[in-house]
Structure 1
């Protein structure tokens, strides 16, 4: 537990520096996290005898990341199309080594992980140089919503954990994640709603709207966590990696963010930016 706490504190400090700095540093950090999670994804499926396209997938994820960083939606669409075509072509050029199942697993991982981190990068750069004044200084719009996405996701996990430990009696989804409870989930809903509403007050956003966003973030974050749990059960692994002491792998730490970051990105554009 001590290792987990120390790593968490260091991680939050590092994340704060990268998020607030933004620019190239944030974009490169997003790419490195995406490639790390992709590597762990491929390694998990290799436990089942499959052969995901590790190197090719890494290149394709990098291409999508570059398009997202440039903010060109047409280029990003082209990169997604290219990824699908290339992965299927490998079944021809490496027939007998790379089968259709491996291609399906590869394509799923490239889009599931790659596009999620692309949206994380796009979220940070959304709104350009426009800033939001707060009591502790100005925040760029994208920076503010990165904090909404991450703090909302962390709040969901934290409040659900402590509520589950204290009150958990009824299993939420036992076949997939035996430790999750309905009581923990309810605690996560309450805590995340309150946390994101509090961020709404801090950033000067519409508080009821942010409370609804917090509620939805908790649901989506829980589903994202369950998705990784399904894969880990299928592949027979406990953690996706051990690069983060006490926390497992990159995929373990970002399984929920993979779902919440794209949602917050589109929520921002269809509500705040559109308004």
Structure 2
């Protein structure tokens, strides 16, 4: 299990580096792909999905993230086309969910529309961070700052928790997470963010509390995804990433830390 986890991690990071520096559009397309796969996994977790078309939420999520991308970058005509396409899928989705019946609407509508914002909106912030232009975090540095802070928190929590973890962090939500693991993740995040910014020559004392905050938010994102899985009676959201599970298993922390980081960077820089 550990060998698979490390091996897929190395392969994934190598691929990610290539995509990040291939350009804004290739990276956005990767974000869109992750959104679609995440939407498929999210749909599997839903409590009442038997009367849904399983392709509608992925299609709606895809049009949502493209509408966001067009509105941020392209001409008004393409923005209008994207919005029309999105609203068409939106209407189709509503009709599919309610199935011309009021039964279950209070459950069906909120959980599906939350998934739309959670996934389409969350993954879009990765593209915004990749294109962040304010010094000293321009040229994808903002994205790497967040990735390092988040994944260092995950990695530190995993290994320190296995070695030293005794007292559970949230036993009803995620029995394997420990307080020692969470502290280990926070410390590793501070260390690696400091090393990263020192190597680039952009270290500031501000990065220390910021890395701590992002690591803490990533833990909340991980616990939130665990809540979704526990409520659905699932251990993992998928098996697409060897040793890690599904897209939501791997990116759950980033879906919280990326939006938080983007607005913090806007405010601070």
TM normalised by structure 2 equals 0.86
Do the aligned residues in 2 keep the contact of 1:61 with 1:110 (CA within 8 Å)? Answer: yes
Once the two structures are overlaid, the 10-residue window that deviates more, 230-239 or 161-170, is: 161-170
Structure 1 residues 233 and 72, CA, compared in 2 at 3 Å: closer, same or farther? same
Do the aligned residues in 1 keep the contact of 2:37 with 2:58 (CA within 8 Å)? Answer: no
Shift of 1:82: 4.9
Number of aligned positions between the proteins: 259
Which residue pairs with 2:33 in the alignment?
32
* Pair 1:125-2:131 in alignment: yes
* Pair 1:14-2:15 in alignment: yes
Which residue pairs with 1:137 in the alignment?
none
Which residue pairs with 2:119 in the alignment?
113
The secondary structure found in structure 2 opposite 1:166 is: helix
Structure 1 residues 85 and 40, CA, compared in 2 at 3 Å: closer, same or farther? closer
C-alpha offsets along residues 169-188 of structure 1, whole Å, 9 cap, x if unaligned?
11111110111111111111
Across the aligned residues of Structure 1 and Structure 2, the Cα RMSD in angstroms comes to 2.8
C-alpha offsets along residues 21-53 of structure 1, whole Å, 9 cap, x if unaligned?
2222101000000110110000121xx343566
The secondary structure found in structure 1 opposite 2:187 is: helix
Which residue pairs with 1:164 in the alignment?
161
Do the aligned residues in 2 keep the contact of 1:168 with 1:181 (CA within 8 Å)? Answer: yes
Shift of 1:189: 1.2
C-alpha offsets along residues 187-215 of structure 1, whole Å, 9 cap, x if unaligned?
11111112222223233435211111110
- The structure 2 residue matched to 1:95, chosen from 92, 97, 101, is 101
Shift of 1:54: 3.9
Which residue pairs with 1:50 in the alignment?
49
State how far apart, in whole Å, the 2-side matches of 1:142 and 1:65 are. 22
Which residue pairs with 1:179 in the alignment?
176
State how far apart, in whole Å, the 1-side matches of 2:71 and 2:264 are. 17
State how far apart, in whole Å, the 2-side matches of 1:93 and 1:204 are. 58
- The structure 2 residue matched to 1:262, chosen from 259, 263, 269, is 259
Shift of 1:126: 2.3
Which residue pairs with 2:62 in the alignment?
62
Do the aligned residues in 2 keep the contact of 1:69 with 1:122 (CA within 8 Å)? Answer: no
Do the aligned residues in 2 keep the contact of 1:243 with 1:249 (CA within 8 Å)? Answer: yes
C-alpha offsets along residues 76-96 of structure 1, whole Å, 9 cap, x if unaligned?
9x79x9599735555555436
TM normalised by structure 1 equals 0.84
Do the aligned residues in 1 keep the contact of 2:60 with 2:90 (CA within 8 Å)? Answer: no
The secondary structure found in structure 1 opposite 2:45 is: helix
Structure 1 residues 3 and 93, CA, compared in 2 at 3 Å: closer, same or farther? closer
